[in-house]
Amino acid sequence: MDVVLHQVLAGLATGGIYASLALALVMIYQATHLVNFAQGEIAMFTTYIAWSLVNAGVPYWPAFGITVAVAFALGILIERVVIRPVENAPVLAVVVVFIALLVILNSVAGWIYTYTIKSFPSPFPKEPLFGIRYMSPHELGAIGVTLLVLAALYAFFRFTPLGLAMRAAAQNPQSSRLVGIRVGWMLALGWGLAAAVGAVAGMMVAPIVYLDPNMMGGILLYAFAAALVGGIDSPMGAVIGGFAVGVLENLLGAFVIGNELKLTVALALIIGVLLVRPSGFFGKVHVTRV
Amino acid sequence: MKRNVLLIAILLIIACALPFVVSNYRTFQLTLVMVYATALLGLNILTGYNGQISLGHGAFYALGAYCAAILMDQAGAPYWATVPVAAAVCLVAGFLFGLPALRLEGLYLALATFALGVAMPQLLKYDHLAKWTGGVQGIVIAKPEAPFGLPLNADQWLYFFTLAITVAMFVLAWNLLRGRIGRALVAIRDQHIAAEAMGIDSALYKSAAFGVSAMYTGVAGALSAIAIQYVAPDSFNIFVSIVFLVGIVVGGLASISGALYGALFIQFVPNLADEISKAAPWAIFGVFMIGFVYLMPTGVAGAIRLLLAKRRSSP
Amino acid sequence: MALLEVSRLHARYGHTRVLHGIDFRMEEGSITALLGANGAGKTTTLRALCGMLKTEGEVRFAGESIARRMTEDIVRLGIAHVPDGRGTFLNLTTEENLRLGAYVRRDKNAVESDLERMFGYFPRLKERRRQQAGTLSGGEQQMLAVSRALMLSPKLMLLDEPSFGLAPLLVRELFHILRRINEAERVSMLLVEQNAAMALDLADHAYLMETGRIVLAGKSCELKSDDAVRRSYLGY
């Protein structure tokens, strides 16, 4: 029983990370109907920036803040410079551009930082917090940070005029222009936020899996699975999907198939969801007119 | 038409002469060019002609390669027999994957195949399969020698072996694609509802396209295993699938000659890129990818076609 | 100086030319109707005024040239467009839709009192303020669309077929409110309508369009009494 509880709680911790990335994916999908294949690499790259800052002597939380700000700017830059020209291009062209982005970020990170695995600090203390022994302090902290970020995003979109404008621009760009919303910039902002969320996810997961340019590949796959399970156009679904997938991964890994086939599980999940219930559990069912 | 036949004949003559005038290493590189060309032709049939995006063709490449390696290593099969077996296995595997893929469009199919490409190395390293796949270490196989005591060294023989198979595959593709089948594939890609209304069994064609495409890439994989004499899980990661994608974008979608241009690109440009920047050849790849999408979306083949059309129309 | 002056306006969708050099003008405070059969180019004219298409020619609004500006900038000059199909944000609430109408405004307090005023004109919207706009009936969505445009506090309102899909009684009610708004708040209106009879009752001036050209212009009372117009366009 202890073991199950431990797996569930640890699963919630990694699930939080999947939830954050899945949310970033859904945000971009809602606004553009595009799947951001490069989401993981953007998160990885910004985590490396955090690593550089910490290595240069900057204390953790200021480095965290700076990284989030830089990630935000990077997201906006990528949308305006790389994505905008192909917004209306055929699907294959867009996919190629996303993959190119993935590849460029991955190799530049490898070039600047080499492929040696690096350790990334955790801001949480080493001793068990509140006497909880089922999770490491970092796992507990990661859940906390994830929930904070998700709550902040929710509040932003629900209660601020800018958040409302962004939601409007994602749902109905034409009508948004008619009320004066600059749709292009709303898209860029969405990318900025998605990149910032990804940076937080990266910084929370790096202490667990260690920092290396290829660290986000498998995680991104799980985030995809989570976003699909929850519904690719449902933010709430992405979050629930993320936590669910995290717990599922751990339980399956501990009791059913061992830790070696985790990615295959993600693959099976993705294909399964796409075949059985493509709109996910919380997404809207789309009817395509002939 | 006659001009094309003449050009191809000249190309073939040059191809046959090359191994005797260049170094062994170059011959080996050219062998790989042909391997890639076959793989790219496979991907092009699926993505270029039929519009189904695959980011996971590295998995079929791996399947073909491991087929060849396992047959040679465990069953003691001769190298030339492994190629048809790999072809058959990948044809079936591709068709089977194509069946559920029927329900996925565009980005969703890209996503599913991306997952396939990412998951493949881990699957190949799986402990329980290790007694066949060799696990993390992979499998080492012997280098074939020229038969019947022909006066060719091993590299040259491998070159001609690969050349023969590649030419056969290209001829097969040319026959398939220029007739009804090719038109049906393109019709399904461009206007699938209209295509079905005209009586084209889109489900059958799409799954068959997946199967044939996988078969080509699997054959290429088998040839690559024979040429390199080594297979290991980590050589078949997602980047292989990405390289193939780069190849067809640069070479030209829906084009048979594009497969050749793309293969030349992916074999030789990384070496060039290495010289520009020792550490980031992939970044250069990425820049090329974006560049081609923006500036030359029809690839090299398309650009050549445009150039020829212009020259023909101006007196 | 007229509020809106359009000269030699051409517009095209891709390579197909849809407007062939139209000229018209609107005075401040007027309600003008743009009439014509399906495909005459009425909706295209409104879209062209908002910068939603490629245009050639001149459009001046309150003296400023707006012909090749972007939609988002034209809105900031005080032109509100109620598009055909209403353009409601279906997944947002009624109140969120209304607040979006005031997105470009800086005067927060005035926005709040304007919101209350909209609920005054259309009490049914107040009842449904927290409901998802997609669940509103056709008539309610039309009221919402008009209110959203008014939340801009515009100088000019462009309305594309506001009577579409509404029962005649509702249309009468809506047009009555539009007349009230026009008089009370000095909002000029350019109305595109297929329902010529009701449009001519509301408007002071009217223009008749046919295949991308303006073929007739005049005061609405004159057009109403014109036999030819009555027979071709009003059906009696």
Partner-chain residue, chosen from A91, A106, A262, that has the shortest CB–CB distance to B53: A91
Query: Residue C59: pLDDT above 70?
Result: yes
Return the pLDDT at C88.
93
Handedness of CA C141, C145, C150, C151 (dihedral sign): positive
Q: What does the domain layout of chain C look like in residue ranges?
A: 4-234
Is residue A108 within a helix (H) or strand (E), and if so which, with residue range?
helix A91-113
Interface size, chain A vs chain B, as Cβ–Cβ contacts under 8 Å: 129
Question: What is the secondary structure of B125-159 as a DSSP string?
Answer: H-GGGHHHH-GGG-EE-PPP--GGG-S--HHHHHH
> B277 lies in a domain?
no
Question: With an 8 Å Cβ cutoff, is C89 touching chain A?
Answer: yes
Q: Is residue B80 part of a domain?
A: yes
Residue A284 has pLDDT above 60, yes or no: yes
The pLDDT value given to residue B279: 58
**Class of residue A171 by CB neighbours under 10 A (exposed 0-12, middle 13-18, buried 19+):** middle
Q: What is the pLDDT of residue C82?
A: 94
> A286 CA to chain C: closest CA distance, Å?
14
Q: Which tens digit of pLDDT belongs to each residue from B209-226?
A: 999 999 999 999 999 999
Domains: count for chain B? 1
Sort out which chain C residues have CB atoms less than 8 A from A167's CB and list them: 92
The answer to whether the Cα torsion of B74, B77, B83, B89 is positive or negative is: negative
Interface contact flag, A179 C100, Cβ < 8 Å? yes
Any chains having at least 3 CB pairs less than 8 A from chain C are A
Q: What are phi and psi of A202, to 5 degrees?
A: -60, -45
Kindly determine whether residue B115 and residue A221, on different chains, have CB atoms separated by under 8 Å. Answer: yes
C154 and C79 Cβ atoms separated by less than 8 Å = yes
Q: What percent of chain A clears pLDDT 90, i.e. is strictly above it? A: 43
pLDDT of residue B276: 66
Contacts of A255 (CB under 8 A, 6+ apart): A7
Question: In the prediction, which pLDDT does B280 show?
Answer: 67
Confidence at residue C114, expressed as pLDDT on a 0 to 100 scale: 92
**Residue C85, pLDDT score:** 87
Q: Does residue C196 contact residue C42 with C-beta atoms inside 8 Å?
A: no
Residue corresponding to tokens 């911790």: A13
B18: left (phi over 0), alpha (psi -120 to 50) or beta: alpha
Report chain A's mean pLDDT, rounded to a whole number: 87
Residue B185 CA to residue B49 CA, distance in Å, equals 6
Residue C191, beta-bridge partner list: C33, C159
CA contacts within 13 A on the Cβ side of B191: 7
CB A263 within 8 A of CB B119: yes
User: Diameter of chain B by CA atoms?
Assistant: 68
Domain coverage including residue B149: 25-237
The pLDDT tens digits of the residues spanning A238-253 come to: 899 999 999 988 888 7
In a domain, A198, yes or no: yes
Q: Pick from B106, B107, B54: which is nearest to B214 by CA? A: B54
Burial of B312 (0-12, 13-18, 19+ CB in 10 A): exposed
Angle of helix A161-171 versus helix C94-101 axis, rounded to 10: 100
pLDDT (0 to 100) of residue A40: 93
Mean predicted confidence (pLDDT) in A81-99: 86
Confidence at residue A279, expressed as pLDDT on a 0 to 100 scale: 78
Q: Which of C111, C71, C73, C75 is nearest to C95 (CA)?
A: C111
Q: CA-CA distance, B271 to B249, in Å (whole number)?
A: 19
Range of the domain at A105: 2-122+130-219
Q: Are C154 and C214 in contact (CB under 8 A)?
A: no
Q: What are the pLDDT digits (tens) for C188-208?
A: 999 998 888 888 889 999 998
- B165: pLDDT strictly greater than 80: yes
Do the domain assignments include residue A45?
A: yes
Digit-coded pLDDT (tens) for A171-219: 899 999 999 999 999 999 999 999 999 999 999 999 988 898 888 988 9
* Cα distances (Å, whole numbers) of residue B304 to B244, B255, B296: 21, 11, 11
Contacts with A164 from chain C: Cβ below 8 Å: 92, 96, 99-100
pLDDT given at position A286: 59
Q: Inform me whether the pLDDT recorded for A288 exceeds 60.
A: no
Q: Where does C4-234 sit in CATH, by number? A: 3.40.50.300
Q: Is the pLDDT of residue B64 over 90?
A: yes
Q: Taking CB atoms and an 8 Å limit, are A178 and C81 in contact across chains?
A: yes
Nearest to A164 among C100, C148, C152 (CB): C100
Quote the pTM value.
Answer: 0.85
The mean pLDDT of C50-69, rounded to a whole number, is: 90
Residue C10: pLDDT band (50, 70, 90) is very high
- DSSP 8-state code for residue A56: T
Asked if the model's pLDDT at residue C144 lies above 90, the reply is yes
Residue A226 lies in a domain: no
Please give the tally of structural domains in chain A: 1
Question: What per-residue confidence (pLDDT) applies to A290?
Answer: 47
Across all residues in chain C, what is the average pLDDT? 90
Element (H or E) spanning A171, and its range?
helix A161-171
pLDDT category at A131 given cuts 50, 70, 90 is low
| B227 within domain boundaries | yes
Cα B168 to Cα B5, B171, B216, B218, distances in angstroms: 16, 5, 11, 15
- Which residues from chain C sit within 8 angstroms of residue A174, using beta carbons? 83, 87
The pLDDT tens digits for A152-167 are 998 999 899 999 999 9
Q: Closest residue of A to B100, CA-based?
A: A275
Q: Taking the alpha carbons of A234, A90, A82, B299 in that order, is the dihedral positive or negative?
A: positive
Residue A154 or A127, more confident: A154
Residue A289 has pLDDT above 50, yes or no: no
Q: pLDDT tens, B192-213? A: 778 878 877 888 888 889 999 9
Write the single-letter amino acid at B20: F
The pLDDT value given to residue A209: 87
Residues of A in contact with B250 (CB under 8 A): none
Residues in chain B within 8 Å Cβ distance of A34 = 107
**Is residue A40 in a domain?**
yes
Contact between residue B142 and residue B229 where contact means Cβ atoms under 8 Å apart: yes
The 10s digit of each residue's pLDDT in C29-58 is 999 999 888 888 899 999 999 999 888 999
ipTM tops the 0.95 cut: no
Chains C and B touch (3+ CB pairs under 8 A): no
Q: B142: which residues sit within 8 A by CB, 6+ positions away?
A: B72, B229
Phi, psi of B236 (to 5 degrees): -120, 45
Alpha-carbon distance of A184 to A189, in angstroms, equals 9
